[in-house]
Structure 1
Amino acid sequence: MKKLLLASALLAASQVATAADYKIDTDGAHAFIQFKVSHLGYSYVMGRFNKFDGQFSWDADKPEASKITVNIDTTSVDSNHAKRDKHISSPDFLNVDKFATAKFVSTKVEEVGDGELTVTGNLTLLGVTKEIQIDVSKIGEGDDPWGGYRAGFEGTTSIQMGDFGTKMDFGTVDFNLVLEGIRQ
């Protein structure tokens, strides 16, 4: 009877041992939040947020149990043009003096096949929370040269700035997200 109980306990432990928590590697600059927005319909303005952090849980055997939270320091907006960054940071757009942080919290993860996922969650920007979906591709996971374990993903999504109550609505913003996490 003791052997049966021990075997059952080992089997149960092996079935839950695959889920792990990860810290997004912003310290090593292995994660990026980049954006692109139309400039008058003639070209694009591209930029990024230089400061953000977050964490995610990932279970390759049960992706639907995964979760992610990302906190973005909106004061770190960088379009490679100081005067434009000042305008983007103003009350016309991001209003960073009042809303210095944006946040994404997942509510659902769906596996759609071949390492592709759809992550649904709530984005809070300018004090307004809206549900968005992010199309995600798993890049890979495994041991790193420093004795740790990492997992990486790339995602794309688009939002309408007017949905978040910007004073000036410059339309659709396309985001490209690259997140590499270090298992904790």
Structure 2
Amino acid sequence: MKKHIIAMGLMAAASVSGIAQAADYAIDTKGAHASINFKVEHLGYSFIKGRFNTFDGTFSYDPQNLSASKVQVNVDTTSLDSNHAERDKHLRSADFIDAGKYSTATFTSTKVEPKGNGEMTIFGELSLHGQTKPIAIDAKFIGEGEDPWGGYRAGFTGTTRIDFKDFGIQVMGSSSYADIELHVEGIRQ
């Protein structure tokens, strides 16, 4: 009987600790539960908003050891969409991001720094327009749990600013940067 109680206790402890262990997630782009959005100043008068429609990625998340978390994202730059076909053609051209030559942008995290209350800074390398530079993403954990389809999900949001000159992208007027807004929901694998 004593062995049975000890075994049950160990199984319970293992299952509770399993909830808090690191897990790998695939970003849910098929269900459109993730987005990469941008906002760019237009001639100093207003802003243009857009997004990248095609991307994929993974992340590893451990709520008990947040600094061990990792992120990898691949973006199809030809999927840039600002809801204006002629402008998108120009933005994808060699005048700006040159999506014909540099059709993929990648982000690979190098470090995750916890800030408390579900907030963190994700440091990493962004490869864009043939250049690789370090960037930092201010991120926040939104939540995690079981979904209605028998899976388990975790979600985050994040922001960063990309300076065009850092990546050799032409500046037009006062538009020298893009503010990036990320919404990431992953399905545990």
**TM-score under structure 1 length normalisation:** 0.91
Select 2:90's aligned residue among 87, 90, 94.
87
Select 1:45's aligned residue among 48, 53, 67.
48
Distance, in Å, in 1 between the alignment partners of 2:87 and 2:164 is: 17
Residue 60 of structure 1 aligns to a residue whose secondary structure is coil
Distance, in Å, in 1 between the alignment partners of 2:117 and 2:183 is: 18
Confirm whether residue 176 of structure 1 aligns to residue 186 of structure 2.
no
Residue 75 of structure 1 aligns to a residue whose secondary structure is helix
Distance, in Å, in 2 between the alignment partners of 1:168 and 1:135 is: 24
Match of 1:121 in 2: 124
Q: Is the 8 A contact 1:104 1:121 kept in 2?
A: yes
Select 2:144's aligned residue among 135, 141, 145.
141
Confirm whether residue 69 of structure 1 aligns to residue 69 of structure 2.
no
What percentage of residue pairs aligned between the two structures are identical?
Answer: 58
CA apart distance, 1:167: 3.5
Distance, in Å, in 2 between the alignment partners of 1:147 and 1:18 is: 19
RMSD after superposition: 1.9
**TM-score under structure 2 length normalisation:** 0.89
Q: Which amino acid aligns with 2:159?
A: T
Confirm whether residue 152 of structure 1 aligns to residue 155 of structure 2.
yes
Deviations 1:107-157 (A, max 9, x none): 000110100010000000011000000000101000001110000000000
Distance, in Å, in 2 between the alignment partners of 1:176 and 1:71 is: 16
Distance, in Å, in 2 between the alignment partners of 1:18 and 1:166 is: 41
Distance, in Å, in 1 between the alignment partners of 2:60 and 2:37 is: 22
Q: Is the 8 A contact 1:21 1:58 kept in 2?
A: yes
Match of 2:108 in 1: 105
Q: Is the 8 A contact 2:105 2:127 kept in 1?
A: yes
How many residues align? The count is 179
Runs of 4+ in 1 over 2 A off after TM superposition: 9-17, 167-170
Q: Is the 8 A contact 2:164 2:170 kept in 1?
A: no
Confirm whether residue 96 of structure 1 aligns to residue 99 of structure 2.
yes
Q: Is the 8 A contact 1:38 1:44 kept in 2?
A: yes
Deviations 1:66-123 (A, max 9, x none): 0000000000000000000000000011101110000000000011010001000000
Q: Is the 8 A contact 2:42 2:48 kept in 1?
A: yes
Distance, in Å, in 2 between the alignment partners of 1:141 and 1:110 is: 20
CA apart distance, 1:172: 1.1
Residue 30 of structure 2 aligns to a residue whose secondary structure is coil
CA apart distance, 1:168: 4.0
Q: Which amino acid aligns with 1:54?
A: G
